[in-house]
């Protein structure tokens, strides 16, 4: 049995230790924000945070999560229901087209902005590797810049 935290709640998984985290989240915990895209960790639709760092859940075996903390898109906002600044920016810029990749894009952006709080377009282009099949990259970049500003404002308050 593997014990870990998901969105601040302690959980246990009693199945095959090689089961990818994505399937534990979706099939066992009913958290469907992370999506199956490619199954090889390339597209990023399955991105979640493990101990605060963005990781692709489709290739991460559940055995690697013992005593770790997982945050999914469902747990990104605060306990009062306030959306994370990245989620707020995504809505303000109207980023999603089909929306399939957006949870992964948002989770990757949160991690990215922790490392690059004032990103340039070049920083974004060189570091954001999630794929958007609809090609909303211009809006994604705009939302990342807006989220960075929101996060800086929040730090000043």
The domain that holds 134 is classified in CATH as 1.10.150.120
Q: Give a yes or no: residue 80 inside a domain.
A: no
Residues near 82 by beta carbon (within 8 Å), at least 6 away in sequence: none
Same domain, 71 and 91: no
Whole-number Å distance between alpha carbons of 56 and 142 = 24
Instruction: CATH number of the domain at 15, please.
Output: 3.10.20.30
Q: Is the model's pTM score more than 0.85?
A: yes
Round the average pLDDT of the chain to a whole number and report it.
96
Residues of the domain holding 37: 2-75
Instruction: Please say whether the beta carbons of 2 and 60 come within 8 A.
Output: no
Look at residue 156 in the predicted model and tell me its pLDDT.
62
Average pLDDT over residues 7-17: 97
Q: Is the pLDDT of residue 157 over 60?
A: no
Instruction: Please say whether the beta carbons of 105 and 124 come within 8 A.
Output: no
Checking 114-118 for CB contacts under 8 A at 24+ apart, the result is 114/52, 117/148, 117/151, 117/152, 118/148, 118/152
Residues near 93 by beta carbon (within 8 Å), at least 6 away in sequence: 139, 142, 143, 146
Q: Could you say which of 29, 47, 75 is where a domain stops?
A: 75
Same domain, 69 and 89: no
Q: Give a yes or no: residue 49 inside a domain.
A: yes
Identify the band that residue 53 occupies on the pLDDT scale cut at 50, 70 and 90.
very high
β-pairing, 2-6 with 69-71?
A: parallel
Q: Could you say which of 26, 45, 75 is where a domain stops?
A: 75
Which value, to the nearest 10 degrees, does the dihedral of the CA atoms of residues 58, 56, 48, 1 take?
A: 50
Count of domains forming the chain: 2
Average pLDDT over residues 40-53: 98
Q: Is the pLDDT of residue 81 over 90?
A: no
Q: Give a yes or no: residue 93 inside a domain.
A: yes
């Amino acid at each position: 049995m593997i014990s870990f935290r998901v969105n601040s709640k302690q959980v246990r998984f009693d199945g095959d230790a090689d089961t990818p985290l994505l399937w534990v989240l979706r099939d066992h915990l009913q958290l469907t924000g992370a999506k199956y895209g490619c199954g090889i960790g390339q597209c990023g639709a399955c991105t979640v945070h493990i101990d605060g760092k963005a990781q692709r859940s489709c290739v991460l075996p559940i055995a690697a999560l013992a005593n770790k903390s997982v945050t999914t898109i469902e747990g990104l906002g605060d306990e009062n229901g306030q959306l994370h600044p990245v989620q707020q920016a995504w809505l303000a810029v109207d980023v999603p087209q089909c929306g399939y990749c957006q949870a992964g894009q948002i989770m990757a952006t949160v991690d990215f902005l922790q490392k690059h709080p004032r990103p340039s377009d070049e920083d974004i282009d060189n570091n954001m590797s999630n794929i958007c099949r609809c090609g909303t990259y211009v809006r994604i970049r705009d939302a990342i810049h807006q989220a960075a500003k929101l996060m800086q404002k929040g730090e000043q308050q």
